[in-house]
Chains A and B, each alone.
Chain A
Amino acid sequence: MTIRHVRSLAAFGAVLAAGVAGTSQASAKDLTLCWAAWDPANALVELSKDFEAKSGVKMKFEFVPWPNFADRMLNELNSGGKLCDLMIGDSQWIGGAAENGQYVKLNDFFDKEGIKMDDFIPATVVGYAEWPKNSPNYWALPAFGDVIGWSYRKDWFARPELQTEFKKKYGRDLAVPKTFAELKDIAEFFQKREIDGKTVYGAGIYTERGSEGITMGAMDVLYSFGFQYENPDKPYELDGFVNSAKAVQGLEFYKQLYDCCTPPGHSDAYMSEDIDAYKSGQVALHMNFAFTWPGINADANVGGDKSGYFPNPAGPDGVAFAQLGGQGISVVSASEKKDDALAYIKWFAQPEVQQKWWQMGGYSALRKVVEDPGFATSQPYAQTFLDSMAIVKDFWAEPAYASLLQATQKRFHDYVVAGQGSAQDALDGLAKDWTQIFDDEGKY
């Protein structure tokens, strides 16, 4: 090899090394945030441009549609994948992600940066950030407050002829229901009714089988009827609570609602099917997570004054609860860019960013935003959001949540949609399934 060859080789090596260094520098200056593919995610892309401008870090996004979100992202976490630096994961993942070391514990970071959990809506802190629940161990920053509530056709409710007919039949005004029994009356009233030459139906409710749909829907009713996950005095004691007489009544009610008042073919409906049914003018009212409300409000067919919003009505005992949705933002342990990821969370936690987040369609969980005197009137659905967030309950967030959820999906769908067995059978079976799962987890 001649001197000339050695020189050219050295020059080539230097160029290559510079290229590699450049590449690694570029890759260190980007962050990937993983979340579900839905409207709020698009708002977050816009919001994050501010972070990009201030930090010089390029944001990348990996959004997966809801039905596949858990499958895809839990695969990523379980395999120790490095795709996501930041994860806006579902609230129920927190137990497993914390215990299996998939999320970074944020206590020290919060202390250092002066981020206080007292500044966030308490239910979102418990639901999205804490594990074990009700302990000061934080694995996420509450990122997106969400809860199930109802939207209804205010313009149909206001029609004099319908008002008159309803009053004659039920002896009260056609108005926002105060109880689930009233809600069912309204749904029955609208079922197969001709409105503007079109057949419409009562209510869109969650019935989806594959992921979590029917559980999220039925639990709203069950909570308000008196269902409890466990003995409040003895954790993991389920019999008599999961399958109590009141819980059975609640599940029976949900089936009645499905049988009497849903549109044809509503046997596998979740967020998108329900919103489609509502926006296309098929149903008079529908249950859905609050994230859908900005879209409804802006919709050309049903938006503005045509729609109203209300929280879950009460059960037979006068109490009302709502299923918590929403997520916290966490740093993935397998990420090699934890410092930049933490910088993103620090930026996101700022009150002015949270305020902008709400304005762009994201539901901020920061109290300073939601307790602002102007918040409740800032959007037609803002008060309903606040009322609903005040009555939330959440599904198990245990590491075994996926098994608990799948057992619930099967038991509820078998009874509500397939009509197999009774509500008592379904809940007795569910108590048995859950007991077995907790037994396998060594809880007894």
Chain B
Amino acid sequence: MLHSPVDRVAEATPHAIAKRFRGLSDRSLAWLFVAPSIVLLLAVNIFPLIWTIRLSFTNFRVNRPNAEVEFVGLKNYISILSDKDIWLTMQATAHFLIWTLVLQVLIGFSLAYLINKKFRGNDLWTTIIVLPMMLSPAVVGNFWTFLYQPQIGLFNYAIGFLTGADPSSFSMIGDVALAPWAIVIVDTWMWTPFVMLICLAGLRSIPDSIYEAAECDRASKWRQFWTITIPLVLPFLMLAVLFRGIENFKMFDLVVQLTGGGPGSITELTSINLKREAFEKWRTGYASAYAVILFVTVFGLASIYVKALNKVKER
């Protein structure tokens, strides 16, 4: 009599196949099962990475199939790291990254804190708040160019209405001083709901009994917030920062649609600059070195951050 599904599968397996696998150890079987995934991973991730690293030491250009490919050593890396313009794109990326993270954490956590309170229409408001993150970044970038339009844009109109300034007297995406903030505002509008949702999950994971115990100890709301809520939500918050940090380090589509990297190069983030080198100037070897530098940077920073996150979780 067959008792379990495993027994039934074993019974149903043709004898010839069963015989072929009979001598395999558990370890061999495990390898057999994960092998397709490993092969796929090697083909899709590891091979391109190794190939990119190889190309980064050459002068290869994909649009010059007949040109001789020369090994140039560290020339591409030295050239990139000593290029003033690339450091400016790094600065633009850092500005974007830091301010979007600060604003999204502050606003996202505040919204989550409010939404976590029980009130009428709670679910409706949650749905409305998360709508922006469901849109395509390219679409968001495109329609914000209309909102920022000095003559007909709602954003300019609202600022004009609130401050009394002429709406057409400033251009959010055409002014060097305002454009870096224009992209921060749009990214914050779009992705704060994501941070909010993660914080909300954190807030809802805190057992009520902890707050009840604090109430018994006559802890004030302020103290409860700093000694219970914040420490217990912190791992979630840090996770949100990790996700958003990695995403915004690679930010491309939204900013390209909004400003195209301009005015001048003031909002040219590293990924936009990299795309120009790789697919407009076709400097494949140089762009590969650039991509490797960015990869090492984001991987290094993320690794340090994950260690810190693990320490916070262990506390």
Q: Which residues of A contact B (CB under 8 A)?
A: 70-71, 74-75, 77-80, 96, 99-101, 208-210, 263-268, 399, 402-403, 406, 410, 413-415, 417-420
Contacts and interface: CB of A to CB of B under 8 A. Distances in A.
B261 interface: yes
Contacts of B260: 208-210, 268
Give the interface centre of B62, B276, B281 by most chain A CB atoms within 10 Å: B281
B280 A71 contact: yes
Contacts of B283: 403
A89 to B, nearest CB: 13
B280 A414 contact: no
17 contacts: A100-B66, A209-B263, A210-B260, A264-B168, A264-B171, A265-B150, A266-B174, A267-B173, A268-B263, A402-B280, A406-B281, A413-B264, A414-B264, A415-B264, A417-B264, A418-B176, A418-B266
Interface in B149-205: 149-151, 153, 168-169, 171, 173-176
B254 interface: no
B256 interface: yes
Interface in B260-274: 260-266
A419 B176 contact: yes
A420 B176 contact: yes
A78 B282 contact: yes
A49 B230 CA distance: 70
A267 B63 contact: no
Contact of A417 (B62, B85, B174, B276): B174
A59 to B, nearest CB: 28
A399 B65 CA distance: 12
Given A80-B65, A209-B259, 5 more contacts: A74-B282, A267-B174, A268-B260, A399-B64, A418-B266
Contacts of A263: 151
A413 B265 contact: yes
What is the predominant secondary structure among interface residues of chain A facing chain B?
A: loop
B279 interface: yes
Contact of A209 (B66, B176, B261): B261
A67 to B, nearest CB: 9
B136 to A, nearest CB: 16
Contacts of A265: 148-151, 153, 168, 171, 173-174
Given A208-B260, A413-B265, A75 B279 contact: yes
A402 B275 CA distance: 13
Contacts of B62: 78-79
Contacts of B263: 209, 267-268, 413, 417-418
A410 B265 contact: yes
Contacts of B279: 71, 75
B160 to A, nearest CB: 12
A438 to B, nearest CB: 14
A266 B175 CA distance: 10
A245 B260 CA distance: 31
A264 B153 CA distance: 11
Contacts of A415: 264
A85 to B, nearest CB: 20
A419 B151 CA distance: 22
Nearest to B275: A71
A419 B176 CA distance: 8
Interface string B279-300: 1111100000000000000000
Nearest to A405: B280
Contacts of A70: 280
A410 to B, nearest CB: 6
A367 B264 CA distance: 41
Interface in B88-146: none
Contacts of B169: 264
Nearest to A418: B264
A268 B168 CA distance: 16
A209 B63 contact: no
A434 to B, nearest CB: 13
B79 to A, nearest CB: 10
Contacts of A406: 276, 280-281
Contacts of A77: 63
A100 B65 contact: yes
Contacts of A418: 176, 262-266
Given A209-B260, A210-B261, A267 B281 contact: no
Nearest to A192: B168
Give the interface centre of A77, A101, A403 by most chain B CB atoms within 10 Å: A403
Contacts of B282: 74, 78, 402-403
Give the interface centre of A79, A210, A267, A413 by most chain B CB atoms within 10 Å: A267
A101 B174 contact: no
A443 B256 CA distance: 34
Nearest to A210: B260
A406 B278 CA distance: 12
A264 B151 contact: yes
A100 B264 contact: no
A80 B66 CA distance: 13
B262 A268 contact: yes
Nearest to A209: B262
B251 to A, nearest CB: 16
Nearest to A75: B279
Interface in B42-74: 62-66
